[in-house]
């Protein structure tokens, strides 16, 4: 009976904390639809904003999937996959990476000084720049999550069977494993597609300005308090959800088309020269992508740090006039304050989310009842901005009257979904035998979990903590709008500072963000490698 109450209370509280925000969404979502006669359609540049948002979502998510498939294909056909090859880029906060990318590759940036006009594609605020940055950031995300999904499939056996009936390893990946992997990745791909179509912070800093993309436009409207802007924000929210729906349908259609394409090629005779050419091309793309990811991330990290110590680094000088710690000394109070807030919120969120995810997984295993992942990941399938705008119109602020509590709750909610994506596949792969055996020796459920199951999940738990922390650290829209500017973090400060023409101060905040992520990543790697008892 006590155990029943224990499970019931635990899962009940968790379900309330996961379900309550949806209640507020339903309550607060303004039913001001963008009908054909709506004010929204008369806003100058709205058609371009819509078109560009879709282009960003489609192109960035497709290229990221393409590169990730090639990297994972190599993993599947060549023994043990590498685990650290995309770590640096994966851990890089989007915004910090974007700031460094702009300073390195845009006109008057560092590369322009070394090789003038060698990189003419990256304007300071353009679609190409935004898409490139998103591809750089989303590809490692898909690779990390993709490797987890791959590990759930008997892919080695499938490739071996394919090869034993005369299909090459590479062809076996594309024809046998890839369709199943793509299906397993559906929810992750939908989350990435919706994120890319509705991204706010990176789009504000690197995306086109006149007109901006739809999501930054909605934030601008939301932050103005005249009735017209509020009306536009409400209609824009729905439009953004429409775009998200289109992206979700696109991912499903893309999966169906690719699976049909692969199926149609089964049994087809393929010339050896063609296979060799494909193998060479994919090998080049994989190597080039990994070199680009590692090279650009390393360069970006170094550039950010260098910027913070540089004085008088004016165009066209390749090096600054002098190096100095003056900037760090001048701003360390502000920086430490923001770092403290960011880290405190992040740690609380990471610990709470990881505990909640662990408890929910255990409840499902214990009761042999699997909640469909789509329900638990639903927060990723609606543009974050639409959700936050709905919360602002609801009783959310009465429930969470404290700004920090409000921000923590929102961070927890979004971090939970990402953490679940990381932890659930790993947990499913671990048998309950050890835990049951422990209980048969007289250990209670959670004591047995701690001593016998947790050691098998050390890596997954560490990665869950890392991802939930990184998600919290990177939150911009909920922190800005729900915190009403009274809970400034490194991320919100960085967006505010990036709108000016100054590089050094944003670089300091970006460096702090990235270092925070890197330290967390290194700690995660150390914990994951600890010998398991």
Partner 1 sequence: MISQATQIALSDQCLTWRQDGRTQSLPDMNLTDGASLGVMGPSGCGKSSWLRCLLGETLSYVQFSGRIAIAGKDVSRLPIEQRGIGILMQDNPLFPHYSVAKNLAFALQRQGLTKAAQKQVIETQLAELGLADMAERLPGQLSGGQQARIGLLRTVLAEPALVLLDEPFNALDAERRQQVRDWTFNFLRERGIAAIIVSHQADDLSLVDQQLYWPDIAVEQPCEARTK
The smaller minimum CB distance to partner 1, of residues 183 and 367, is found at 183
Q: HEC string of 172-217?
A: HHHHHHHHHHHHHCHHHHHHHHHHHHHCCHHHHHHCCCCCCCHHHH
DSSP state of 453: I
State how far the Cα of 75 lies from the Cα of 147, in Å rounded to an integer: 8
The smaller minimum CB distance to partner 1, of residues 257 and 330, is found at 257
Question: Residue 484 belongs to what H/E stretch?
Answer: none
DSSP state of 378: G
Which among 99-107, 168-176, 281-289, 383-391 is the span making contact with partner 1, rule CB under 8 A?
168-176
The smaller minimum CB distance to partner 1, of residues 168 and 289, is found at 168
263 forms part of the interface with partner 1 (CB under 8 A): yes
Tally Cβ neighbours within 10 Å of residue 324.
14
Which among 24-32, 66-74, 265-273, 439-447 is the span making contact with partner 1, rule CB under 8 A?
265-273
State how far the Cα of 465 lies from the Cα of 469, in Å rounded to an integer: 6
The smaller minimum CB distance to partner 1, of residues 61 and 168, is found at 168
Which among 57-65, 167-175, 205-213, 367-375 is the span making contact with partner 1, rule CB under 8 A?
167-175
Tally Cβ neighbours within 10 Å of residue 436.
13
269 forms part of the interface with partner 1 (CB under 8 A): yes
Please identify which residue in 115, 268, 273, 314 interacts with partner 1, judged by CB under 8 A: 268
Please identify which residue in 167, 196, 198, 492 interacts with partner 1, judged by CB under 8 A: 167
Count, residues near partner 1 per rule CB under 8 A: 26
State how far the Cα of 461 lies from the Cα of 433, in Å rounded to an integer: 19
Query: Which is nearest to 382 in space by CA: 349, 420, 414, 410?
Result: 414
The smaller minimum CB distance to partner 1, of residues 501 and 531, is found at 531
CB of 270 vs partner 1, minimal distance in Å: 8
User: ∠ at Cα 45 (25, 197), nearest 5°?
Assistant: 45
The smaller minimum CB distance to partner 1, of residues 175 and 219, is found at 175
Tally Cβ neighbours within 10 Å of residue 256.
12
168 forms part of the interface with partner 1 (CB under 8 A): yes
CB of 152 vs partner 1, minimal distance in Å: 13
Q: How many C-alpha atoms does 430 have within 13 Å on its Cβ side?
A: 24
DSSP state of 311: E
CB of 156 vs partner 1, minimal distance in Å: 9
State how far the Cα of 414 lies from the Cα of 405, in Å rounded to an integer: 14
State how far the Cα of 100 lies from the Cα of 307, in Å rounded to an integer: 9
488 forms part of the interface with partner 1 (CB under 8 A): no
CB of 157 vs partner 1, minimal distance in Å: 6
Please identify which residue in 26, 33, 266, 522 interacts with partner 1, judged by CB under 8 A: 266
Pairing of strands 322-323, 310-311: antiparallel
Please identify which residue in 5, 151, 209, 270 interacts with partner 1, judged by CB under 8 A: 270
Which among 141-149, 178-186, 422-430, 498-506 is the span making contact with partner 1, rule CB under 8 A?
178-186
CA-based R_g, the chain, Å: 24
Peptide bond preceding 211 in cis form (omega within 30 of 0): yes
State how far the Cα of 108 lies from the Cα of 254, in Å rounded to an integer: 39
| Contact flags string 36-75 toward partner 1, x per CB under 8 A | ----------------------------------------
Report helix, strand or coil for 322.
strand
| Contact flags string 147-166 toward partner 1, x per CB under 8 A | -------x--xx-xxxxxxx
The smaller minimum CB distance to partner 1, of residues 37 and 164, is found at 164
- Characterise 309 by phi-psi region: left (phi > 0), alpha (psi -120 to 50), beta (else): alpha
| Contact flags string 187-206 toward partner 1, x per CB under 8 A | --------------------
Which among 28-36, 230-238, 268-276, 353-361 is the span making contact with partner 1, rule CB under 8 A?
268-276
State how far the Cα of 131 lies from the Cα of 137, in Å rounded to an integer: 10
The smaller minimum CB distance to partner 1, of residues 266 and 326, is found at 266
Region 72-131 residues binding partner 1, contact defined as CB under 8 A = 79-80
Interface contacts to partner 1, rule CB under 8 A: 79-80, 154, 157-158, 160-169, 175-176, 179-180, 183, 263, 266-270
């Amino acid at each position: 009976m006590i155990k029943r109450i224990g499970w019931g209370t635990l899962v009940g509280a968790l379900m309330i904390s996961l379900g309550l925000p949806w209640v507020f969404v339903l309550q607060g979502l303004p039913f001001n639809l963008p009908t054909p006669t709506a004010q929204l359609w008369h806003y100058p540049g709205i058609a371009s904003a819509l078109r560009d948002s879709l282009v960003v979502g489609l192109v960035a998510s497709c290229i990221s999937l393409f590169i990730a498939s090639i990297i994972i294909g190599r993993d599947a056909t060549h023994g043990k996959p590498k685990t650290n090859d995309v770590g640096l880029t994966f851990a890089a906060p989007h915004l910090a990476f974007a700031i460094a990318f702009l300073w390195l590759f845009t006109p008057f940036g560092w590369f322009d000084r070394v090789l003038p006009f060698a990189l003419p594609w990256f304007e300071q605020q353009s679609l190409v720049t935004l898409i490139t940055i998103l591809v750089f950031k989303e590809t490692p995300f898909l690779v990390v999550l993709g490797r987890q999904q791959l590990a759930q499939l008997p892919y080695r056996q499938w490739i071996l069977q394919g090869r034993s009936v005369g299909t090459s390893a590479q062809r076996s990946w594309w024809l046998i494993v890839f369709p199943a992997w793509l299906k397993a990745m559906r929810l992750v791909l939908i989350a990435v597609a919706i994120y890319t179509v509705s991204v706010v912070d990176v789009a504000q800093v690197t995306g086109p300005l006149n007109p901006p993309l739809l999501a930054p436009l909605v934030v601008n409207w939301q932050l103005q308090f005249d009735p017209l802007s509020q009306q536009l924000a409400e209609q824009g929210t729905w439009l953004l959800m429409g775009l998200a729906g289109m992206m979700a349908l696109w991912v499903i259609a893309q999966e169906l088309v690719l699976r049909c394409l692969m199926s149609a090629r089964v049994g087809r005779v393929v010339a050896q020269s063609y296979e060799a050419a494909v193998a060479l091309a994919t090998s080049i793309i994989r190597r080039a992508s990994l070199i680009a990811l590692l090279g650009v991330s390393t360069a970006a990290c170094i550039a950010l740090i260098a910027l913070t110590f540089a004085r008088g680094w004016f165009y066209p000088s390749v090096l600054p006039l002098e190096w100095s710690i003056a900037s760090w000394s001048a701003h360390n109070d502000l920086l430490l304050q923001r770092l403290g807030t960011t880290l405190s919120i992040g740690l609380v969120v990471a610990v709470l989310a990881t505990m909640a995810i662990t408890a929910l997984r255990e409840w499902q295993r214990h009761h042999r009842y699997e909640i469909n992942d789509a329900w638990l990941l639903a927060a990723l399938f609606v543009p974050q901005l639409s959700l936050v705008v709905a919360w602002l119109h609801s009783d959310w602020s009465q429930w969470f009257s404290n700004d920090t509590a409000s921000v923590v709750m929102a961070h927890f909610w979004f971090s939970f979904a990402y953490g679940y994506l990381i932890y659930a596949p790993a947990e499913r792969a671990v048998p309950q035998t050890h835990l049951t055996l422990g209980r048969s020796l007289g250990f209670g459920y959670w004591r047995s979990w701690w001593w016998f199951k947790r050691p098998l999940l050390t890596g997954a738990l560490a990665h869950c903590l890392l991802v939930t922390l990184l998600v919290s650290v990177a939150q911009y829209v909920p922190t800005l709008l729900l915190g009403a500017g009274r809970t400034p973090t490194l991320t919100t400060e960085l967006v505010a500072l990036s709108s000016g023409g100054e590089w050094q101060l944003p670089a300091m905040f970006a460096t702090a963000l990235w270092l925070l992520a890197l330290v967390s990543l290194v700690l995660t790697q150390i914990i994951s490698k600890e010998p398991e008892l």
